[in-house]
């Protein structure tokens, strides 16, 4: 998913790996420091950075399975001593886009109110150069997360589970989390930046008070959620924060996303990597790595909800 918005950070200049790690180690949330030690050890094998200020043309062909995908299934992590630390908590997972969106251009191009302005209902998302669609990636990671979080006792709800022909629109995605009175909402994405740009970043809601949008009450808890997710993602996957947005912190604040603007509960987006970069694509199309991504995001959510 590539976006261009009013508070979108400009692309950052490429830096040497040692300097990037030094900046990130001081700027990223404290919980990520251990993860950086892991990253420094694994090097390129753990991931890199990626997102662009130029919107990538969405895929216009049916999603196809990548030949590099494997069939590893979600495997719930055992909870300690049989405890269910998230009992009574509601987590909403928002798998970005929908595999069927490309068949419904008129529906997904319809403009909806996002508070600050009007924007298209949804997009098709991006894909790897080999044709593995972002919408397939997001559903797979979301389903793996569900298995992990339910094992921890959470009630998990999806905005869509491949069970509808298109959408939902971004305003409806926000409303699903609101109606569920979710304790945390995470929207799963992968980016469509330029080749050579790598890494993940977590998008936080900026303060918006316009029209139907009033993010003031959720800005602080959403940042806390985003910091926990970013820290756990680094530690579990070994991936580095984006080298093109966020200044090496892995955190970006935006005011142009309806899914965040219209939320009344803590919510963040995560761009797990850049599908248009061959090294990031090799990770994103690996079932083993997607399991790590799901685990990292889930552990961030658990950490946030347990305080």
User: Among the options 134, 136, 271, 299, which is catalytic?
Assistant: 271
Q: Is 271 designated active site?
A: yes
Rounded Cα distance between 180 and 91, Å, is 9
| Contacts for 82 with CB less than 8 Å, ≥ 6 apart | none
CA distances from 252 to 120, 212, 246 (A): 22, 23, 5
Active-site residues, by number, are: 271
């Amino acid at each position: 998913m590539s976006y261009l918005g009013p508070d979108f950070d400009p692309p950052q200049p490429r830096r040497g790996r040692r300097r990037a790690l030094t900046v990130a180690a001081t700027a990223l949330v404290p919980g990520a420091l251990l993860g950086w030690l892991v990253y420094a050890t694994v090097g390129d094998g753990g991931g890199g950075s990626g997102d662009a200020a130029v919107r990538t043309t969405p895929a216009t062909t049916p999603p196809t399975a990548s030949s590099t995908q494997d069939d590893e299934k979600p495997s719930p992590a055992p909870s300690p001593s049989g405890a269910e630390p998230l009992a009574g908590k509601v987590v909403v997972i928002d798998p970005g886009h929908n595999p069927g969106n490309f068949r419904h251009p008129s529906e997904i191009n319809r403009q909806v109110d996002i508070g600050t302005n009007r924007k298209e209902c949804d997009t098709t998302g991006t894909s790897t150069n080999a044709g593995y669609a972002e919408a397939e990636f997001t559903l797979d990671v979301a389903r793996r997360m569900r298995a992990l979080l339910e094992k921890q006792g959470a009630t998990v709800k999806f905005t869509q589970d491949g069970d509808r022909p298109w959408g939902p629109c971004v305003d409806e995605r926000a409303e699903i989390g609101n109606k569920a009175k979710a304790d945390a909402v995470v929207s799963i994405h992968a980016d469509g930046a330029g080749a050579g740009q790598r890494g993940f970043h977590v998008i936080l809601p900026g303060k918006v008070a316009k029209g139907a949008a009033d993010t003031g009450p959720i800005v602080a808890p959403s940042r806390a959620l985003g910091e926990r997710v970013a820290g756990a993602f680094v530690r579990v996957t070994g991936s580095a924060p984006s080298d093109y947005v966020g200044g090496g912190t892995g955190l970006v604040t935006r005011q142009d996303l309806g899914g965040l603007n219209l939320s009344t509960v803590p919510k963040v987006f995560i761009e797990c990597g850049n599908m248009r970069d061959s090294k990031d694509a090799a990770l994103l199309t690996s079932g083993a790595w997607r399991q790590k991504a799901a685990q990292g995001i889930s552990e961030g959510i658990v950490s946030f909800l347990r305080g």
